[in-house]
Structure formats: structure tokens, C-alpha cells
Amino acid sequence: MAKKKMVVTNNSSRGGYFIRRVLAFGIDWYLSGVLANIAISLCYGFFNQGQIEVQYNLNGMTSTQAWILMAVLFLIFLFYYVWVPCRIWIGQTPAQRMLQIKVFHDDHSEVTFKTMLIRFVLGCLVLEGTFYFFTSTFKTLLITKYLPFDTGMMDMLLSGPVAVICVLSLLLALRDKDQSRMIHDRISHTHVEDIYVPGKVQKAL
């Protein structure tokens, strides 16, 4: 007997599911970015006698201070994208909960901490880093503190391959008519499923 394919959409159209998935990514990107910018400002103030500023680069920080900042940012993103979907709302970030989509294993079991770690760290930050604030900040750290070359050229060399992977990941999702899986879904053996219920509003707080 042929194995039945699992379909991500149930109560809404695939188009509606895809729109909500994109919206969830955008909201999560914004909220996690706000947390990251707060952390950057506080760290900058701690390193500079209480002078708190909104920083979009690593100017004014030593290499050691920059590494401390990166460690803080990494923990913030782990909390948002790994700990919350594993300990608060299983399989869901705040935006995914609000928009009624959820991450499952491919066998439809609930996700584990190990799975979400692989999905986010390896899949999202390393392979699809163009989409994430942490990866761009880490790239800035490498370029400004450790690579004695033309920064524009190094930025292009580091960003180019990751951008290609991101485009490929989006194309894979669009071609996958059943589960819309991107690269981070595939390497972690997960998919994002539609759990939309008409008229039901999920609170994220």
C-alpha cells in the first residue's frame, strides 16, 4: 500500500496558508530583532560607562566585547526560536501561534529540542542566514574585526553563497505542493502545518 502524503493545509487554502506563513516569519523577524537591538544597546552601554545607544554595527567595541555581544544575541535567538517552541507553545513561535501554523516532525509527532536546534541553528542561521539578523551581525564581526581585506568584497563573497541558498530554499518551498518545505525543514525532517480554525483567535501572550 502506498504511503499517504501528509498535506499541510486543512481548513484554509494553500494560498492562505502560505500568506500566513510569510506573515509569521515577518512578525517573528521583527520581534526577535527588537529584542536583539535592545540587547545591543544595553551591551553597548555596559561597555561604555552607561552610554546607551542604538547600534547597527560593532563600532566602538573591542573584539572581546563583540564576541560577548554575539553570545548574548545567540542566546536571545535560541530563546525565541528554540526554547519557546519547545517549552511554551510546542512547535510554535509567538507569530506562528497567532497565525495558527505549527511545526511538526514529518511523522506528525511533536518537535523536540534537538530537532528545533538543528532546524534553527544549522538550517536557518547557517544555511539561510540572509533572512536573519544574527547571521548578518556575525558576518559584520568577522569582516570588521578579523579580515584585513576590502570589506565590500568580503561582504559580497560571504553573502553571495548564502543568498543563493536562500533563493533555492524558497523555490523548493514553492515547488513542494504538499508541505512547502524549505531547506531548514528538510534537514530537520519537519514541516509547517496549517492548524487554522475559522473564527478562532490564538493569543500569543
Domain membership of residue 2 (yes or no) is no
**Nearest by Cα to 194 from 108, 106, 100:** 100
Domain membership of residue 152 (yes or no) is yes
pLDDT confidence of residue 16: 81
* DSSP state letters, the chain: -PPPPP-S-SSS-HHHHHHHHHHHHHHHHHHHHHHHHHHHHHHHHHHTTT-----SS-TT--HHHHHHHHHHHHHHHHIIIIIIIIIISTT--HHHHHTTEEEEETTSPBP-HHHHHIIIIIIIIIISGGG-HHHHHHHHHHHHHH--S-HHHHHHHHHHHHHHHHHHHHHHHHH-TTT---HHHHHTTEEEEE---TT------
pLDDT confidence of residue 1: 41
**Confidence (pTM):** 0.79
Instruction: Count how many domains the chain has.
Output: 1
Domain membership of residue 200 (yes or no) is no
Domain membership of residue 129 (yes or no) is yes
Domain membership of residue 164 (yes or no) is yes
Structural domain including 36 reads 14-194
**Nearest by Cα to 139 from 33, 79, 57:** 57
Sequential pLDDT tens for the chain (205 residues): 444 444 445 545 777 888 898 999 999 999 998 998 888 888 877 777 756 555 556 666 777 888 888 899 899 999 999 999 999 999 999 999 999 999 999 999 999 999 999 999 998 888 887 778 777 777 777 666 666 555 566 666 666 777 888 888 888 888 887 778 889 999 999 999 988 777 665 555 5
Domain membership of residue 110 (yes or no) is yes
Domain membership of residue 204 (yes or no) is no
Domain membership of residue 201 (yes or no) is no
